[in-house]
């Protein structure tokens, strides 16, 4: 098993560092040079395995930023229970996740992994 640094192998990282050093050397010598680019791995198979689309991930990040900007308000357990009861009856709800928005909706007390707990969030279908 190869050691990993970020999303690349140690060998790929070392090669990229060498390219960066050569680039900076050319710049110090007054030469024109194009900065090296790093080839990032394709994470599509992992994302597909989890059933999360890039759009879903973007919506979740926007939701977390909105939640942070509002001061991290959360719903009470009673409110969460009411929301989960609505979601469980919905055709888009499967195994704790809404297939429409991709978010987890459960009784979890951990807001970062539970859309129902985030006071700043609402149902995409306007059910809650």
What pLDDT digit, counting tens, does each position of 56-112 carry? 888 888 999 999 999 999 999 999 999 999 999 999 998 888 888 888 899 989 888
- Domain presence at residue 122: no
Q: What is the largest CA-CA distance in the chain?
A: 67
Band (pLDDT 50/70/90 cuts) for residue 5 is: very low
- Domain presence at residue 123: no
User: Considering only CA atoms, which of 114, 54, 56, 51 is closest in space to residue 81?
Assistant: 114
pTM of the model: 0.60
Structural domain including 82 reads 44-117
Are residues 30 and 65 located together in one domain of the fold?
no
Are residues 25 and 53 located together in one domain of the fold?
no
- Domain presence at residue 127: no
Q: How many domains does the chain have?
A: 2
Say how many CA atoms lie within 13 Å of 68 toward its Cβ.
Answer: 7
Residue 2 pLDDT: 46
Are residues 36 and 92 located together in one domain of the fold?
no
């Amino acid at each position: 098993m190869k050691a990993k640094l970020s999303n690349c192998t140690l060998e790929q990282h070392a090669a990229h560092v060498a390219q960066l050093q050569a680039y900076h050397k050319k710049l110090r010598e007054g030469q024109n040079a194009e900065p090296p680019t790093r080839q990032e791995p394709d994470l599509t198979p992992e994302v597909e395995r989890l059933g999360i689309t890039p759009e879903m991930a973007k919506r979740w990040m926007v939701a977390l930023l909105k939640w942070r900007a509002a001061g991290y308000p959360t719903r009470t357990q009673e409110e969460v229970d009411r929301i989960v009861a609505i979601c469980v009856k919905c055709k888009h709800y499967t195994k704790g996740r809404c297939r429409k928005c991709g978010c987890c909706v459960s009784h979890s007390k951990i807001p970062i992994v539970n859309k129902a707990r985030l006071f700043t969030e609402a149902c995409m279908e306007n059910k809650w």
